[in-house]
Amino acid sequence: MTVYLLYIAISCLFTCSLNIIHAHFILNIPLTPDAFITPVFAGLLFGYLLARIKLLQEQMSLVAHTDPLTNIYNRLHFGHFLDAEIDRVKRYGGAFSIIYFDLDQFKRINDEYGHLVGDEVLKGVANVVQNANRRADIFARYGGEEFIILSPSTDAAGAGIHAERLRADIEGQRFSKINKLTCSFGVTEYKPEDDDVASLFKRADTALYHAKHQGRNRVETG
């Protein structure tokens, strides 16, 4: 809100100044009190409209890029980050990994406690992970109860350590209504010579499947 009000003030000041300059120096209108009011009022109105347009642009950008429930990135915007990271690694070298995880037995939570409780659990998990992630990590809701993390400059071993920390953090969190919750994780590292987006995701999905098959609440690397 502070930034928004500051933008309004700057926009109004700028447009008022332009209108006064235009009226006095170009149209040669003497700056009497009556002649002064019109350009000032027009400047205030135009500045306010500019600020509103700016705010609407930011809101539309936020809607396009984030998941409305958890306020983290959505699947589409995550794809843009992933494409950029693939391009970076192919061009300059280095490594990155992805961590793909979902909530164990989430359907049971929805069935027993209702979707409103399920939504609160999703937001709670997103908050736990967001607080534990590094600043460079890109975190997104991939769909339903599935989440994904892009970890730049991180090999599979490092991503596995981070995933294990997240697994423990989520298991140790207490959620209202349901109390405890666990998640299963699939981790994989990008292989520049062999991978495209499809193969990278398939390997992460397979690792997640193995984590589920091995009893859930665990991290598997593919």
Nearest to 134 by CA among 114, 116, 153, 109: 153
As a whole number of Å, the end-to-end CA separation of the chain is 45
Beta bridge partners of 97: 151, 189
Please tell me which residue in 120, 145, 189, 220 is annotated as part of the active site: 145
What are the distances in angstroms from CA 131 to CA 82, 127, 139? 21, 6, 11
> How do the domains of the chain map onto residue ranges?
2-65, 75-221
Give the per-residue pLDDT at 93: 92
Give the per-residue pLDDT at 65: 75
Give the per-residue pLDDT at 194: 87
pLDDT tens figures, 94-127: 999 999 999 999 999 999 999 999 999 999 999 9
pLDDT tens figures, 31-79: 555 555 655 566 566 666 666 666 666 656 555 578 989 999 999 899 9
pLDDT higher than threshold 80 for residue 92:
yes
pLDDT tens figures, 131-149: 999 999 999 999 899 999 9
Within the chain, residue ranges assigned H as helices are: 2-21, 33-65, 75-92, 106-113, 115-132, 156-172, 197-213
Give the per-residue pLDDT at 141: 95
Give the per-residue pLDDT at 72: 94
DSSP state of 135: T
Reply yes or no on whether 85 is catalytic: no
Q: What is the mean pLDDT of residues 183-200?
A: 94
Q: Which two tokens stand for residue 150?
A: 């892009």
Whether domain 75-221 has CATH 3.30.70.270: the reply is yes
Average pLDDT over the chain reads: 84
Give the other-Cβ count within 10 Å of 217's Cβ. Answer: 17
